[in-house]
Every structure is written in C-alpha cells, then in structure tokens.
Amino acid sequence: QIGRIAQQLGTPAYLVGGAVRDLFLKRYAPDLDVAVEGDTRMLAEACKAQIHGAHYQFHAQFGTAILEDSQGVALDLAQCRLEHYPAPAALPEVHPGNIHADLARRDFTVNAMAIRLDPQHFGILLDPYDGQADLQAGLLRTLHSRSFLDDPTRILRGLRFATRFQMDLAPECHQQLKQALQADIFTQLSGARLWRELRYLLELEALPVALSLLTAWKLWFLLRPTPPASNTMPTLLQRGQEQIQWLSAQFPEEPLAIFIPMLTLIWQDVTLRDIQHYLDRWPVPDRSQLLADLRVLPGLPDTLLKAKRPSQKANIWQGVSVAGILAAMAIYADNPTLVDSARLYLQVQRRLPSPFNGQELQTLGLKAGPSLGKTLKLLREAQLDGEISNKENAQQWLIKQGILP
C-alpha cells in the first residue's frame, strides 16, 4: 500500500539496501528500509490516514520516519539523498536527491539495489551497478575507486558482510583497501565512528571467523599493535561466546555488553600501555573496570589458589566485572577449579540475600556510619563461609563476635 500512497503523493518509494540484498540471499531482513523521493513525514502521515492501525514516529534530526502497521511490521522511511564528501573520512554533505543519487552514495554494489513499490511497476528491480551479479559471485565491490577513502567505515562494514555472507572483496577493491591503508585513512576517522564499527564487529556471532579476514586484510592494527602471536585466538573467542551464552541462559535479565568480554580476550596478551593508547581514542564504556580486569586476569589462577575460604574467593571475583569473569572462564577453560569457582560466584555467591540490611542492623542497636558497612561485609563473609544462614544464627553470630551486646 505504501507504494500506492507514495505515488498518489508524487513521491515514489523504493525498498532499498540490505532488505533487497537479503531478499536475493533468501535471508530474513531485520530492517526494511524504504527510500522516498520526497518528504517522509508527509508520506508517513498519509499512510497513517489511509492504512488501518498504522502509526509513525518522525525523527526531525534525520528527516526519517518509522512507520508501523497494526501487526507491528515496521518500515524505515528515509528521503533519497545525494552525498558529497568534503574531505577524506569526514562526514558527508547531504542534499535531497532521486533514487539514482541515493543508490550512488551506497557502500557496495550488493547494497545498491532498489525495488520499485509503485503499483504499475511493483517488484521491478533497479540494479545500476550489477549488484545481483556480484551477489551471485560472492563479491563485495565498491561503487567507485575512492569509496574507502571517502568513508573508511566501509572497510569494516565490508569485513562484516564478508564474514556474515562468506563473500570476498572484488580484486580491484583489495587494491583500493591497500591504497586506503597506505594513506593511513583510519587516523582521519573520528574515534567515535571507528569504535562504533569495531563494536559491531566484536558483536558478530561469526567473530572467530572474521579474525582470518583481519589478518588477510591487514587490519589487526585497528584492535591491537600486532596480530595475535598464536592461532588460538579464534578458539578463545569462541569459548568467550559460549560463556556469554551460558550466562544469558542463566540470567536472561543480566545486562551485558558482548563487546567487552570479546575485547578483554583480544587484549589479554597486550601491554596495558598499548591498550591505554586505544582506549584514549575510543569512547569505551567502563574503561577503568576493563583495565582493572586486564590487570588481574594473568595472576588469577595463583590468587585463587591462595584463597582458602569461599569468602576469600568471592572477594577476588567481586573485584572483577562480569565481563572479566566470562573472559577468565574462556582463558582458563582448562582449569576446572577456576571455572567452577567463577560459576559459583556468578550463580550463587554474588546473589546471596544478606540476612540483615543496614536498617535492620540499626534497629538491633548498631550505629549508622562506616562501621555498619564493615559489619555488613563481615556478615556477608560469614554467610559465604557457611557460618550463618538465617536471621537467628546471624544475630547469635553478631553477639559472639562482640558486635552486638
């Protein structure tokens, strides 16, 4: 219906980008992008008026709209645009354009196809760069020779597509990649934009497979000063992914940014000085915890071995983030004592409800202040070591320790 309404308004609409590519790959397309030769808000409004149950959200900053029908199927509407790069790796200047200009600004031929949505020509493919042929040949081809220089994020996008769809760069694009790297193009890209792309890469399910492309495309420098010395990295990352899956099956509500344990594993043999250099450039969240984890990880088996009581072990784990613990479980997968201790901490120890909270301790006669915090910590340790299990024996224990009269 959107094609009909768009035509009535005189603003033709086309299905574009990944959705068209995924259609030919017979893959499920999570996002349906529609390019409109005209005003997206006007089209969204007309759809709302004419399609039962349709509603939309307009994003004034980008001039885009998300249109959703009563079944929850969503379309991302964006105005066709023409882009011009004022300088290498800079953000483009954007002007309204037609569908041909919109396809010309895209990254790879396989992503530069459009399908007409107007009723008379519904389903007709626009494929000005032979994307369909490249898709069949498994080739990622840029639209012009300066593409990677204009926008080096396309190199990392290419790496992701090559990994996900088992494709390769077209021969001339290997040459373009070499030129872009010789021009040191990534130094001109902002840290925030680079980090965004790296994050997507680290979140890839097929990340262990992407590593061989990082080597082949000579891109390891983006993540670490030198490629990993041994070829154990794919196994390590795969183990990390298994641990993440284990955790999310155990605690589906646990918030975890997948890219942090992955980055921890990629950096586990890199010097902290070199890591700091990367962190200075990227807006990585929780960077001080990440550094603290990386500091602790190498000595972890020894530190845990020295800790005899369950509370001592739990205190060690408490200093490591959940992401760091998952990384430790992957690094020391052949140390069952360590892995069991980590699992016990994640599943049980960190979640033990305290027999008393601060307020209850105050009603028992303890004063507020730092000593209250200390008592709570002692109670927790006694609980972890099996000395107390409920309010009654916790109160007895406090009396025995001379904390309560």
Binding residues for ligand ATP (CB under 6 A): 17-18, 31, 33, 105-107, 111, 151, 153-154, 157
Q: What is the closest distance, in whole angstroms, from the C-beta atom of residue 12 to ligand ATP in the complex? A: 18
The least CB distance from residue 70 to ligand ATP, in Å, is 24
Q: Cα separation of 294 and 274, whole Å?
A: 12
Give Cβ neighbours of residue 112 (< 8 Å, ≥ 6 apart).
103, 104, 106, 127, 128, 129, 131, 143
Cα separation, 135 vs 322, whole angstroms:
40
User: Would you say the C-alpha torsion 266, 268, 271, 274 has a positive or negative sign?
Assistant: positive
Instruction: Give whichever of 31 and 172 is closer to ligand ATP, judged by the CB atom.
Output: 31
Please identify, using beta-carbon distances, which residue of 33 and 37 lies nearer to ligand ATP: 33
Q: Of 31 and 392, which has the nearer Cβ to ligand ATP?
A: 31
Of 157 and 380, CB closest to ligand ATP = 157
d(CA 142, CA 134): 11
CB of 52 to ligand ATP, least distance (A): 28
Rounded Cα distance between 389 and 86, Å, is: 68
- N-terminal to C-terminal alpha carbon distance within the chain: 78
> Looking at beta carbons only, is 41 or 106 nearer to ligand ATP?
106
- Of 39, 18, 368, 1, nearest to 165 by C-alpha is 18
- To ligand ATP, the closest distance from the beta carbon of 204 in angstroms equals 10
Using an 8 Å Cβ cutoff, are 313 and 345 in contact? Answer: yes
Residue 374 CB, shortest distance to ligand ATP, in Å, is 51
Report the nearest approach of ligand ATP to the CB of residue 16 (Å): 7
Q: Smaller CB distance to ligand ATP: residue 195 or 397?
A: 195
* Shortest reach from residue 341's CB to ligand ATP, in Å: 38
- How far is residue 107's CA from residue 24's CA, in Å, rounded to a whole number? 18
Rounded to 5°, angle at Cα 396 from 391 and 400: 145
Which residue, 161 or 332, has its beta carbon nearer to ligand ATP? 161
Query: Closest distance between ligand ATP and the C-beta of residue 123, in Å?
Result: 19
Torsion of Cα atoms, 171 then 174 then 178 then 181, to 10°: 160
Q: Which residue is nearest to ligand ATP (CB)?
A: 18
Angle at 332 between CA 330 and CA 338, to 5 degrees: 110
SS3 content of the chain, % helix, strand, coil (to 5): 55, 10, 35
The token duo for 38 is 């005209």
Find the shortest distance in angstroms from Cβ 169 to ligand ATP: 15
| Of residues 20 and 361, the one with the C-beta less far from ligand ATP | 20
Give the 3-state DSSP-derived string for 366-379, with helices as H, strands as E and coil as C: CCCCHHHHHHHHHH
73 vs 368 by CB, closer to ligand ATP: 73
For ligand ATP, the closer CB: 156 or 361: 156
Task: Tell the smallest beta-carbon distance from residue 63 to ligand ATP (Å).
Answer: 15
Could you please report the per-residue DSSP string of 112-139? Answer: --EEE-SGGGTTPEE-TT-HHHHHHHTE
